[in-house]
């Protein structure tokens, strides 16, 4: 029997994963302080789920296949810093309603399957570096990102740092499609 990621407990999160061109523009903004996030790991977290068992994962993937959100645009416009967590990050000019709707739908699905979620306010951003020295917030030339899908990713903890693996993607759309595995969902 093959042991796939979906057949074991996993540390999961929903995210927006930029294409290579957008990732390259984001990576160019990484400050030379702290531990830079590897270019292939750059993403915008929609919802951190934590340790998820097999049945919860199955139910979450089924719920993700029913999400109704149209494609939307993001504009990353500023480099900023959180002193408490020592994180350098890129922020949006404004969170589009579609992004907030996507977050809300996924959060409702996670709560429905019994996951205990963080209670802090959702602040969409792309983490650039951890353990970063203080940097002054500043505007950047806007990075335009057309979002057409979202994904379920796994965080694998390794001695050299976390590795993020995209496990499944779903297209953003305005109509309901069939459950998991259908409607253009791709398993990676």
Distance separating alpha carbons of residues 51 and 116, to the nearest angstrom:
10
The conformational region for residue 110 under phi > 0 = left, psi -120 to 50 = alpha, else beta, is alpha
Pick the catalytic residue: 25, 30, 43, 169?
43
Residue of 75, 81, 72 whose CA lies nearest to 93: 75
User: Residue 47 is encoded by which pair of tokens?
Assistant: 């919802």
Catalytic annotation present for 43: yes
**No. of helices (H) and no. of strands (E), the chain:** 3, 10
Q: What are the two backbone dihedrals, phi and then psi, of residue 118, each rounded to the nearest 5 degrees?
A: -60, 145
- Cβ-based neighbours of 51, under 8 Å, separated by 6 or more: 9, 10, 11
Catalytic annotation present for 144: no
Residue of 36, 5, 14 whose CA lies nearest to 133: 36
Pick the catalytic residue: 11, 78, 86, 125?
125
Residues catalogued as catalytic: 43, 125
């Amino acid at each position: 029997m093959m042991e796939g990621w979906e057949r074991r407990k996993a540390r999961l999160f929903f995210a927006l994963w930029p294409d290579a061109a957008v990732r390259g523009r984001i990576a160019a903004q990484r400050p030379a302080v702290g531990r830079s996030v590897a270019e292939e790991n750059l993403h915008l977290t929609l919802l951190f789920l934590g340790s998820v068992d097999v049945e919860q994962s199955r139910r979450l993937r089924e719920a993700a296949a029913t999400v109704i959100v149209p494609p939307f645009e993001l504009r990353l416009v500023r480099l900023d810093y959180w002193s408490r967590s020592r994180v350098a990050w890129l922020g949006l000019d404004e969170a589009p309603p579609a992004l907030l709707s996507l977050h809300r739908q996924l959060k409702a699905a996670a709560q429905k399957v019994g996951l205990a979620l963080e209670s802090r306010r959702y602040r969409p951003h792309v983490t650039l570096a951890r353990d970063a020295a203080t940097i002054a917030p500043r505007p950047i030339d806007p990075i335009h990102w057309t979002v057409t899908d979202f994904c379920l990713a796994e965080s694998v903890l390794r001695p050299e740092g976390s590795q993020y693996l995209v496990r499944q993607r779903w297209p953003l759309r305005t109509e309901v499609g069939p459950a998991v595995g259908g409607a253009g969902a791709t398993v990676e």
